[in-house]
């Protein structure tokens, strides 16, 4: 990971490399062209790392250094309550400046980004776990489960409980 400068990269969205993982699985299943399985696996892993490195480099070329730091910080913040003054202090700029930079790059505000990430995670947790809605709210940094439920309903168009039931085919 260090060789490909990916050691401190925790999230690479839409890298488009699923086919490389399938290629690696196929290499493990079948020995082809006289190349042993270990060599084929190593080559496929290197190919995956190069593709990830390319994706990260493209994102870095697109985003300013400040924007890259903001996204990294915000992506690690999902389970906590967002406080704009803490964020601004960590980044060394005013929140207004940070929000302007963020909106220039993404067309949404920092708050919208944090909210969207939390709602995406809430949807996954509702689909994939049996955790009570209150526990999901707490896990995402919301002290008041009712506030979380109302916010979820406002943004998703249905209550968390109804979302879970529909996602699991109960309704």
pTM above 0.75, yes or no: no
C-alpha span between 107 and 87 (Å, rounded): 19
What integer pLDDT is reported at residue 20 of this predicted model? Answer: 78
Residue 6 belongs to some domain of the structure: no
Average pLDDT of the residues in 57-76: 76
Per DSSP, helices labelled H in the chain are 18-29, 37-62, 65-75, 84-91, 95-106, 110-128, 133-139, 145-156, 160-167
Residue 2 belongs to some domain of the structure: no
Between these two residues, 90 and 80, which has the higher pLDDT value? 90
Same domain, 125 and 147: yes
Residue 10 belongs to some domain of the structure: no
How many domains in the chain? 3
Same domain, 56 and 37: yes
Pick the range with the lowest mean pLDDT from 15-19, 44-48, 69-73, 157-161.
15-19
Is the pLDDT reported for residue 7 higher than 80? no
Residue 8 belongs to some domain of the structure: no
> 109 CB contacts (<8 Å, ≥6 apart)?
99, 102, 103
Instruction: Give the range of the structural domain holding residue 152, as residue numbers without chain letter.
Output: 112-167
What percentage of the chain exceeds 70 in pLDDT?
82
Pick the range with the lowest mean pLDDT from 15-24, 27-36, 123-132, 146-155.
27-36
Residue 4 belongs to some domain of the structure: no
Residue 121 belongs to some domain of the structure: yes
Same domain, 121 and 77: no
Nearest-5° Cα angle at 88, 87 to 94:
155
Residue 11 belongs to some domain of the structure: no
Q: Per residue, what are the HEC states of 26-41?
A: HHHHCCCCCCCHHHHH
Residue 80 belongs to some domain of the structure: yes
pLDDT tens figures, 12-57: 666 777 787 787 777 767 655 556 777 777 788 888 888 877 776 6
């Amino acid at each position: 990971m260090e060789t490909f400068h990916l050691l401190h990269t925790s999230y690479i969205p839409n890298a488009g490399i699923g086919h490389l993982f399938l290629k690696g699985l196929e290499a493990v299943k079948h020995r082809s062209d006289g190349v042993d399985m270990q060599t084929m696996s190593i080559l496929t892993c290197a190919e995956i790392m190069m593709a990830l490195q390319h994706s990260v480099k493209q994102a870095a070329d697109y985003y300013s250094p400040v924007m890259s730091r903001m996204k990294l910080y915000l992506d690690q913040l999902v389970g906590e309550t967002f406080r704009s003054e803490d964020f601004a202090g960590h980044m060394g700029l005013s929140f207004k400046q940070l929000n302007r930079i963020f909106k220039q790059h993404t067309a949404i505000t920092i708050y919208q980004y944090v909210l969207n990430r939390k709602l995406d995670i809430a949807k996954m947790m509702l689909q994939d776990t049996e955790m009570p809605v209150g526990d999901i709210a707490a896990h995402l940094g919301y002290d008041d489960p009712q506030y979380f439920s109302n916010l979820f309903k406002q943004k998703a168009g249905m209550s968390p409980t109804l979302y879970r039931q529909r996602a699991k085919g109960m309704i």
